């Protein structure tokens, strides 16, 4: 059975005090579970402190992005080894906002996936179609292509540890959610792509999240679906009660 994963993407929100309060509030309320894993992805300046606060508790820390090189003259960037040295365990790669505003491409996503694995970070690889692509029935083609390119030249042994987040761009931060059936259909197509590339065993192990306006009110139905193994959540992960409700719904 695949362990569910609920990850909160805080984007560029919260003060350091708000971030620390959140971590203090939730850490004692989460119990180690075989069923669900909880991850929060705060802004980069808060990673160290939140990793320290949550050490030994059933909540993991993820970064929202990283550079693909281990070190170098890349002013302003953060390397994968810097993240893992801080106690970070996950990293979101290729979020649609990174692709849209920071020129991330399938090629840079591929390099970052490789670098993440080499630094013992688990990548949460985001894929998803625009509204225009959905309306022209290109969703499966777009998403399968993104998955294929993200994992190019990686082995099945590494890919089975990755998390893939299916996030239709038109559903992010808009209040519009894909129906549970539609989300499941695309997550199924993603699993089929992984199977074609790496075989059924890897495809059965890889975890696929849905993301796009997930909240306590709609998560339960999404999680009843066979191919949805959790959620990547933006807005509804910012409030500690709402985040705890999401974890509870997945438990």
Tell me which of 234, 246, 247, 250 binds ligand PEP, using CB under 6 A.
234
Pair 139, 129: CB distance under 8 Å: yes
Reply yes or no on whether 188 is catalytic.
Answer: no
125/203 with CB nearer ligand PEP: 125
What's the closest the beta carbon of residue 184 comes to ligand PEP, in angstroms? Answer: 17
Residue 170 annotated as part of some ligand binding site: no
172/222 with CB nearer ligand PEP: 172
What's the closest the beta carbon of residue 211 comes to ligand PEP, in angstroms? Answer: 4
165/202 with CB nearer ligand PEP: 165
Residues in 170-209 that interact with ligand PEP by CB under 6 A: 172-173
Pair 73, 117: CB distance under 8 Å: no
d(CA 82, CA 73): 14
| Residue 45, C-beta contacts closer than 8 angstroms, at least 6 positions apart | 16
Pair 250, 4: CB distance under 8 Å: yes
Pair 24, 44: CB distance under 8 Å: no
d(CA 32, CA 183): 28
Q: Indicate the annotated binding residues for substrate.
A: 9-11, 173, 213, 234-235
Binding residues for ligand PEP (CB under 6 A): 9, 167, 172-173, 211-214, 232-236
């Amino acid at each position: 059975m695949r362990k569910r994963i609920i990850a909160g993407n805080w984007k560029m929100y919260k003060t350091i005090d708000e971030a620390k309060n959140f971590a203090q509030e939730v850490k004692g309320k989460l119990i180690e579970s075989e069923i669900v894993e909880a991850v929060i992805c705060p802004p980069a300046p808060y990673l160290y402190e939140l990793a320290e606060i949550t050490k030994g508790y059933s909540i993991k820390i993820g970064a929202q992005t990283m550079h693909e090189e281990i070190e170098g003259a890349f002013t302003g960037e953060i390397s994968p080894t810097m993240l893992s040295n801080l106690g970070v365990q996950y990293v979101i790669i290729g979020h649609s906002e990174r692709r849209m505003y920071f020129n991330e491409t399938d090629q840079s996503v591929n390099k970052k996936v490789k670098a993440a694995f080499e630094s013992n970070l688990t990548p949460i690889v985001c894929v998803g179609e625009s509204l225009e692509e959905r309306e022209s029935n290109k969703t499966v083609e777009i998403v399968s292509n993104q998955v294929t390119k993200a994992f190019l030249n990686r082995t099945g042994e590494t890919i089975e540890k990755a998390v893939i987040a299916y996030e239709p761009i038109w559903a992010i931060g808009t209040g519009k959610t894909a129906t549970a059936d539609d989300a499941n259909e695309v997550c199924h197509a993603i699993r089929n792509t992984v199977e074609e590339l790496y075989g059924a065993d890897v495809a059965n192990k890889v975890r696929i999240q849905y993301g796009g306006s997930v909240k306590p009110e709609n998560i339960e139905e999404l999680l009843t679906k066979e191919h949805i193994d959790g959620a990547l959540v933006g807005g509804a992960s910012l409030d500690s009660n709402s985040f705890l409700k999401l974890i509870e719904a997945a438990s």
